[in-house]
Amino acid sequence: MLFASLAGAQQIPAPAGMPEQLPGTTLPPPPMPSLLAWTVDLPAGPAVSPIVTADSVIAAYLPGVIAAFSRDDGRTRWRTELAAEGPLVSDGTLVFVPSGNAVHALRVEDGTLAWRSETGALTAPMVAREGWLLAATQGRLTALRAADGTSVWSVDAGLQRERAAISGNVLFVPYADGRLIARDLTSGAVKWQRLFGGAPNEPLVFGEDIFLGVTNKSFHALNVASGEDRWRWQQRIGGTVRGRAAADLERVYFAALDNMVYALDRRSGSLRWHKGVPYRPWSGPVVAGNSVFIAGPGTELRVFGAATGTPGTPIPFPGQLALNPGFLGTNEGAVFAVVTGSLAEAWKLSMTRPIR
């Protein structure tokens, strides 16, 4: 009877002033603040990856809409009907959209059309840099003036699938037939060319070096001036190198289809670290500050310490990533724009806060 009486008795409140958490008990960790600045709904699935400019996130979604959202709060700035048929690029003032057989230049400020140039259907992502816009079509490479779309030069060329790179007055173009050609940016004239045992990826120009992966599972460092090898690395790469490499003062980083991220000494090519990710990377890594970011089909962006490859806390998103994130390095840190969703869940566009 005593036990029954105690069991049925009301709980006696703690004396006034007694703390709820008794001394010596482990406190639960505080909730981690969200790394997302905002998330907005999209009415349909994405056509291509979003891009990030100084003030806007620009997204393209089906059936044919380009929309700009405020980087600060996700508010819609403008929307225009135009079907993107390849990656968007921007020089900060204009956003360039391949559609049909033309390139359309929209003003970042309000989405109005600045100019349109008939180029033919593009075979590779465009490059917009230092007043130039490079467009590759079937067997032809054209340099346009980014401000008004005027063609400066156009040359016969091989099939280009990967994005080219600009450094100073030199353009480095990878071709599907295994060549990397350095061209004079002002005229298109060939300065030098290299032939590899596979198709080269988008090159990274860093100082006096060019870094690039090749589809024969090799990775190369070349001299910018001559195209000659500084070093070559093809040990233990179990899959094709994806996208463009990234680099800092000490190391160069790349990702491959063996679900691995590699860090090599930038000067010697020796292996510094390699780490696995739970998916096949969509593209090359992004380096910002002391961190290396890698994206793929999942709900998180994986992070590694640049010096040692130590895994950091993944960056979570509200659903399955649909495409490679857009990225911008700022003085406050790295920011990413991500589209998540699928046919079974809502499409959303999210923007991270600056990640240091």
Residue 225 to residue 170: CA distance in whole angstroms? 9
The predicted pLDDT at position 343 comes to 87
Percentage of the residues of the chain whose pLDDT score is greater than 90: 85
Percent composition of the chain: helix, strand, coil (DSSP 3-state, to 5): 0, 50, 45
Which of the 8 DSSP states describes residue 207? T
Cβ-contact 281, 274 below 8 angstroms:
no
SS3 state of residue 66? strand
The predicted-structure confidence for 244-294, as pLDDT tens digits, reads as follows 999 999 999 999 999 999 999 999 999 999 999 999 999 999 999 899 999
* Residue 307 CB contacts under 8 Å (≥ 6 apart), including other chains: 250, 251, 290
- Is the link from the previous residue into 125 a cis peptide, with omega within 30 of 0? no
Task: Tell whether the model's pLDDT for residue 10 goes beyond 70.
Answer: no
Q: Which amino acid is at 67?
A: A
Cβ-contact 60, 104 below 8 angstroms:
no
**Cα dihedral 150→153→158→162 (10° resolution):** -50
**What Rg do the C-alpha atoms of the chain give, in angstroms?**
25
- Give the torsion sign (CA, 328, 349, 257, 301): positive
Higher-confidence residue of 28 and 43: namely: 43
Residue 109 to residue 119: CA distance in whole angstroms? 25
Residue 244 to residue 271: CA distance in whole angstroms? 18
The predicted-structure confidence for 83-124, as pLDDT tens digits, reads as follows 999 999 999 999 999 999 999 999 999 999 999 999 999 999
The residue count of the chain comes to 356
The predicted pLDDT at position 330 comes to 87
* Residue 12 CB contacts under 8 Å (≥ 6 apart), including other chains: none
The predicted pLDDT at position 289 comes to 87
The predicted pLDDT at position 332 comes to 87
Task: Tell whether the model's pLDDT for residue 25 goes beyond 90.
Answer: no
Tokens of 254: 């790349």
Residue 294 to residue 346: CA distance in whole angstroms? 24
Cβ-contact 273, 264 below 8 angstroms:
no
Residue 143 to residue 154: CA distance in whole angstroms? 6
The predicted-structure confidence for 332-348, as pLDDT tens digits, reads as follows 889 999 999 998 899 99
Task: Tell whether the model's pLDDT for residue 148 goes beyond 70.
Answer: yes
Q: Where are the alpha helices (DSSP H) in the chain?
A: 2-8
The predicted pLDDT at position 24 comes to 60
Place of tokens 């033919």: 120
Residue 107 to residue 92: CA distance in whole angstroms? 9
Place of tokens 């060019």: 210
The predicted pLDDT at position 269 comes to 96
The predicted-structure confidence for 284-335, as pLDDT tens digits, reads as follows 999 998 999 999 999 999 999 999 999 999 999 999 999 999 999 988 889 9
Residue 141's DSSP bridge partners are 136, 155
Task: Tell whether the model's pLDDT for residue 241 goes beyond 50.
Answer: yes
Cβ-contact 163, 244 below 8 angstroms:
yes
Mean pLDDT of the region 62-87: 97
168: left (phi over 0), alpha (psi -120 to 50) or beta: left
In Å, how far are 50, 175, 232 from 208, measured between CA atoms?
31, 22, 16
Mean pLDDT of the region 37-45: 96
Place of tokens 């640049």: 306
The predicted-structure confidence for 155-199, as pLDDT tens digits, reads as follows 999 999 999 999 999 999 999 999 999 999 999 999 999 999 999
The predicted pLDDT at position 19 comes to 54
Higher-confidence residue of 9 and 17: namely: 17
